[in-house]
């Protein structure tokens, strides 16, 4: 594999390597010395390169090529069973002062952490190829885009970055001598040659039991060691576009959020753009690809996981999706629940930790109603229908280019982004939180975001189902103190003033006494969308409640929906006693975060508690 950049213009102070940025070239040279790889490959992002890498991975047994008639140019990866999700316990924000990382992040002193990691990284690529992956988060040349360079010894990470970001030559061309860029160092921590020169065989999914996902917010650096999986290894995604970007955003007056973006067209042909923050595996991809059951409505996809939002020259909030692919949860994605995702992954897709069918295609729980009789499960073991263990890992994923989505909006890669009219917050809540409510104003919206909680999912290591606060769906992704982050939200709202988007809270996951979902969800969520847009347009009213403004049944689009008797009331029930109990937990959260919690949010909480007490 040869370097493709010999033509790149070189400046006088050019050090070595194929970019116009001396700092980038120097960093790559330094890292090469530290990591001691067998060779270095600068990635171009071409389809030839993708083919070479996937073929190599197939030869080595790290990828299974799927049946090319059923799933062209698609592959299955099976990870080490100890490396199947983000490792929040091993994720660190290493600011100079611990209080800048805040109590919701793991913190270590940057010097200390760097010294420790340097020893782990020393020689960690022996016997392997070091890939240099230049990438742009955001459309090439967009005023909202940012550049990064990932160094990795994982070809799986390279091909995933190729799908998920604008990667290779087009990114490197953006990198001038003085352009800012984020260094993102990644090693799976499985060198093939040890300190004494002894060689060992590679494994299908190399990784290390010792994992570190580390961010240095002040120097805008990422060092990730020991994991090859998702957000731990595709460093443009959570590490850059959320943790580092949230810090850049605070400093530069914008916002980096864990949000989908959609374009909604009403039956009257009016267009609105919405952004929505739901925690990991709580329905962003589904909502981003919604197929409305309500006649006349149209939803188009702009992004499914991350939004960068910035006040524009006219004072309105504009958003881009910094990614160019979807890394979506596979289980639960089916023809009934998300037909658009099923159509999107027709080919050119990398599947991770899902089941393999006898004819070389993929399957997971929820893709079809009935499982095939026989499968190879996500670990490649024989599996039969009726076995209690799922065939796919609950955090099995697909990685696919966004432009394959049949309902992708034309504006999805517009460098200027789209103007956001409404922001939604939503969690996975069996109780307490209504199907939909509207914040009374921006400050109340920030309160709803700050107090967002959700049952934990398989997207991260940890106890699935456990309720936890996940403010703004950013708990694992905010690169600085949570209280300061809330204040930043208040500041941006102040700047936007009357141009600020309206804020809503949604919950598709409320359950009845028998434990089943009260709301059908998925395409039927268009009914909620209808109400939200009608609110924006001023054509429906609402009733006040401690949860915000609630819809009136007569004004809500329920036609054609068989909602069980009593379900409406249960969906919107705000029980003062239960809410009061929940507000105790909010108090605990605020106390834990401490002095940086904005005063107005504390006042809100006090007012809410008085309101609830008066309703007991
Ligand atoms: P990350 O990629 O981890 O950030 O997650 P995400 O928010 O994009 O999650 P995704 O859309 O992939 O949703 C994951 C799970 O939520 C799937 O199992 C879906 O079936 C389920 N889900 C999505 N929408 C709904 C809904 O409206 N109702 C119900 N009951 N489940 C839903
Ligand atoms: C999430 O966990 O929110 C994801 C998947 O979007 S990962 O990229 O692995 O973080
Ligand atoms: Mn996510």
Q: How many CB atoms within 10 Å of residue 114? A: 18
Tell me the per-residue pLDDT of 297-306, one tens digit each, with 9 for 90 and over: 999 999 999 9
| Res 14: pLDDT | 34
Proximal ligand: closest to the CA of 353: 2
Q: Which CATH superfamily is domain 326-404 in?
A: Phosphoenolpyruvate Carboxykinase, domain 2 (2.170.8.10)
Tell me the per-residue pLDDT of 556-594, one tens digit each, with 9 for 90 and over: 999 999 999 899 999 999 999 999 999 999 999 999 999
| Res 17: pLDDT | 60
The strand ranges marked E within 461-545 are 467-469, 502-506, 543-545
Q: Which residue ranges make up each domain of the chain?
A: 12-64+87-253, 256-325+411-574, 326-404
Q: Is the CB of 364 under 6 A from ligand 1?
A: no
Give the DSSP H or E segment for 591: helix 576-593
Looking from the CA of residue 337, the nearest atom of ligand 1 is 20
Give the DSSP H or E segment for 383: strand 382-384
Parallel, antiparallel, or unpaired: how do β-strands 75-77 and 350-352 relate? parallel
Structure tokens at 502: 């309206």
Nearest in space to 520 (alpha carbons), one of 550, 548, 483, 560? 560
The whole-angstrom separation of Cα 116 and Cα 138 is: 33
Q: Which residues pair with 149 in a beta bridge?
A: 134, 183
Its CATH architecture, for the domain 12-64+87-253, is 3-Layer(aba) Sandwich (3.40)
Tell me the per-residue pLDDT of 268-283, one tens digit each, with 9 for 90 and over: 999 999 999 999 999 9
Q: Is the CB of 153 under 6 A from ligand 1?
A: no
| Res 178: pLDDT | 96
Q: 460 C-alpha to center of ligand 2: Å?
A: 8
Q: Whose CA is nearest to atom 13 of ligand 1?
A: 283
Q: Whose CA is nearest to atom 8 of ligand 2?
A: 231
Mean pLDDT of the chain: 96
Q: 559 C-alpha to center of ligand 2: Å?
A: 36
585 phi-psi bin (left φ>0, alpha ψ -120 to 50, beta other): alpha
Q: At what angle do helices 110-121 and 22-35 cross, to 10 degrees?
A: 60
Q: Whose CA is nearest to atom 1 of ligand 2?
A: 280
Q: Is the CB of 281 under 6 A from ligand 1?
A: yes
Q: 331 C-alpha to center of ligand 1: Å?
A: 9
Q: 569 C-alpha to center of ligand 1: Å?
A: 24
- Name every residue whose Cβ is closer than 8 Å to that of residue 329 and which is 6 or more positions away in sequence: 281, 285, 395, 396, 397, 459
The whole-angstrom separation of Cα 216 and Cα 485 is: 17
Give the DSSP H or E segment for 488: helix 482-496
- Is the sign of the CA dihedral 307, 243, 395, 455 positive or negative? negative
Q: Is the pLDDT of residue 5 over 80?
A: no
| Res 18: pLDDT | 82
Tell me the per-residue pLDDT of 506-562, one tens digit each, with 9 for 90 and over: 999 999 999 999 999 999 999 999 999 999 999 999 999 999 999 999 999 999 999
Residue from 94, 239, 282, 478 carrying the catalytic annotation: 282
Q: Whose CA is nearest to atom 3 of ligand 2?
A: 280
The whole-angstrom separation of Cα 458 and Cα 394 is: 6
Q: 184 C-alpha to center of ligand 1: Å?
A: 29
| Res 392: pLDDT | 98
Task: Judge residue 584's burial from the number of C-beta atoms within 10 Å of its C-beta, 0-12 exposed, 13-18 middle, 19 or more buried.
Answer: exposed
Q: Whose CA is nearest to atom 7 of ligand 1?
A: 284
Q: Euclidean distance between the first and final Cα of the chain, in Å?
A: 71
Q: Active site includes 478?
A: no
Does domain 256-325+411-574 correspond to CATH entry 2.40.30.110?
Answer: no
Q: Is the CB of 508 under 6 A from ligand 1?
A: yes
Pocket of ligand 2 (CB under 6 A): 86, 230-231, 237-238, 280, 305, 327, 459
């Amino acid at each position: 594999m040869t370097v493709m950049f010999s033509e790149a213009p070189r400046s006088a102070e050019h050090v070595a390597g194929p970019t116009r940025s001396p700092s980038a070239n120097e960093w790559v040279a330094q890292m090469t010395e530290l990591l001691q790889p067998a060779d270095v490959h600068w990635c171009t992002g071409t389809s030839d390169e993708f083919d070479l890498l996937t073929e190599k991975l197939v030869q080595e047994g790290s990828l299974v090529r799927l049946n090319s008639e059923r799933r062209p140019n698609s592959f299955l990866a099976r990870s080490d069973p100890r490396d199947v999700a983000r490792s929040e316990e091993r994720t660190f924000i290493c600011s100079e002062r611990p209080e800048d990382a805040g109590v919701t992040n793991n913190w270590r002193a940057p010097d200390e952490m760097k010294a420790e990691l340097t020893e782990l990284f020393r020689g960690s690529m022996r016997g392997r190829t070091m890939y240099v992956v230049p990438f742009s988060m955001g459309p090439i040349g967009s005023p909202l885009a940012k550049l990064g360079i990932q160094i990795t010894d994982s070809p799986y990470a390279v091909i995933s970055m190729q799908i998920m970001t604008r990667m290779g030559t087009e990114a490197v061309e953006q990198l001038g001598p003085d352009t800012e860029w984020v260094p993102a160092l990644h090693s799976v921590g499985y060198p093939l040659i040890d300190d004494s020169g002894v060689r060992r065989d590679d494994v299908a999914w190399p990784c290390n039991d010792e994992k570190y996902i580390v961010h240095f917010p002040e120097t805008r650096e990422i060092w990730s060691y020991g994991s090859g999986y998702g957000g731990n290894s595709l460093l443009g995604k959570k590490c850059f576009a959320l943790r580092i970007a949230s810090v850049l955003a605070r400093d530069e007056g914008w916002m980096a959020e864990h949000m989908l973006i959609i374009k909604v067209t009403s039956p009257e042909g009016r267009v609105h753009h919405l952004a929505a923050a739901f925690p990991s595996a709580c329905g962003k991809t589904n909502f981003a690809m919604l197929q409305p059951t309500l006649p006349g409505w149209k939803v188009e996809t702009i992004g499914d996981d991350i939004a960068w939002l910035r006040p524009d020259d006219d004072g309105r909030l504009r958003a881009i999706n910094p990614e160019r692919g979807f890394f979506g949860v596979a289980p639960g994605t089916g023809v009934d629940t998300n037909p658009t995702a099923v159509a999107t992954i027709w080919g050119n897709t990398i599947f991770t930790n899902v089941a393999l069918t006898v004819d070389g295609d993929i399957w997971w729980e929820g893709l079809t109603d009935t499982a095939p009789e026989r499968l190879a499960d996500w670990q490649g073991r024989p599996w039969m229908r009726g076995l209690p263990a799922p065939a796919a890992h609950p955090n099995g994923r697909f990685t696919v280019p966004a432009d394959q989505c049949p309902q992708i909006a034309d504006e999805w890669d517009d460098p200027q982004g789209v103007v956001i009219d409404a922001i939604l917050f939503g969690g996975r809540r069996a109780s307490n939180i209504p199907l939909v409510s509207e914040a009374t104003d921006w400050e109340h919206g920030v309160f709803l975001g700050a107090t967002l909680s959700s049952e934990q999912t398989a997207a991260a290591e940890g106890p699935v189902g456990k309720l936890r606060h996940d403010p703004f769906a950013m708990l694992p992704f905010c690169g600085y103190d949570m209280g300061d982050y809330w204040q930043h939200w208040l500041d941006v709202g102040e700047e936007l003033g009357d141009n600020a988007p309206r804020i809503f809270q949604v919950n598709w996951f409320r359950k009845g006494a028998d434990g089943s979902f009260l709301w059908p969800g998925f395409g039927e969520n268009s009914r909620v969308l209808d109400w939200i847009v009608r609110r924006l347009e001023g054509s429906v009213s609402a009733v006040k409640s401690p949860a915000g403004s609630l819809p009136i049944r007569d004004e809500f689009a329920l036609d054609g929906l068989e909602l069980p008797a009593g379900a409406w009331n249960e969906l919107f029930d705000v029980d003062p006693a239960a809410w009061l109990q929940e507000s105790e937990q909010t108090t605990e959260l605020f106390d834990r975060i401490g002095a940086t919690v904005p005063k107005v949010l504390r006042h809100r909480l006090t007012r809410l508690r008085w309101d609830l007490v008066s309703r007991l």
